[in-house]
Amino acid sequence: MTRGILIRFIALSFVLSLSACREHEPVPVADLSGTQLMLRETGLPGQSYERNFVFMTTTGDSLLLVPWLLETTPGSNAISREARGWIRRSGAWEPFLAERWETPPTSHPARILPHGTFRIVAGESDIIDGIIYAEGPRNLELALGRPVAQWGGPREERFQLLEASLYLGDQRVSGMVLDMARINSADTPPRGDWAFLTSGDSLQVVLQGDMEHDIDIPPNYRGWVRLDSEELQWPSLRIDWTLTSAYQPARQNVPISWSLSSPIESVDGTLAVLAAEIVTGAGAGPVLPVQALFEVAGTISIDGLSFPVRGLFRHRRR
């Protein structure tokens, strides 16, 4: 852990310990910076707030992926919170973080709060500087660095690419982080699947569906791209499931390969699953909710230039 982050973490822990006796209002540790709509929302039932951090780096043919997925769901009497984390390395998905808890209602439900093994480091104006998983001798720290690109979507979603370092014990690894924030409301369809793809240092791509993917009618997708020093936006993409696999625990088919095209942009590509981590949700059945993390690889062509890409594709059907 760097000295600056360690000092802020100690100070933050002190503030939290002083506030632990307040039962009715949790300490607003870190906010969704720049997302003003989220600050105005009061947390009505049916809404949910997503905040995801995905660290990724490549060394030769090896890819290291560490997604931290946070979700907050306000209810009438309490706020349900969830923090989950995985590390994808050496050919396997390893879950390391799974925290679920409730807090009393608050006027700022989207703010991220620490709990149990999940801790955060907040800097000036409650901007998140780092995320920490700590359980006994096991620890993993994500330290966020300089922003290199940021975009906004049509429904107040926010995406930011940052330089970052991941500390695995005493080992430090440099890479890139996608920081994304989204709102789901009761009166609009849930947000769709998303992906974070890279091709070395030259290309980073963020993809998002406007709504959850229907097998018969795929939704519109959008793309945000950093190509060398140039930033591109693709407002209209078609991403089709070209191959699916039956996932029996949820009685659903899940995609395992995709094709990408656009009616207005000179872009196309293909993606295929290399490894999957699938979580079955609770429900009345017989079809159950499913969430999947896919490590994917493929190619994307932009204006005739082809790039090999790898990364994370997040699939969800409620």
Residues 197-243 pLDDT 10s? 999 889 999 999 999 886 678 899 999 999 998 999 999 999 999 99
pLDDT, tens digit, 9 for 90 and up, residues 291-315: 999 999 999 999 999 999 999 999 9
Angle, vertex CA 203, rays to CA 200 and CA 236, nearest 5: 145
Find all residues with CB under 8 Å of 243, minimum gap 6, and list them. 255, 256, 257, 272
d(CA 101, CA 113): 10
d(CA 188, CA 28): 27
CATH of 189-318 given 3.30.2040.10, 2.40.370.10, 3.40.50.720, 3.30.565.10: 2.40.370.10
pLDDT at 217: 80
Q: Which two tokens stand for residue 76?
A: 């009438």
Omega of the bond leading into 105 within 30 degrees of 0 (cis): no
pLDDT at 215: 62
Q: Which two tokens stand for residue 206?
A: 């963020």
Q: Report the predicted TM-score, pTM, of the whole model to 2 decimal places.
A: 0.85
**Residue range(s) occupied by CATH 2.40.370.10 in the chain:** 189-318
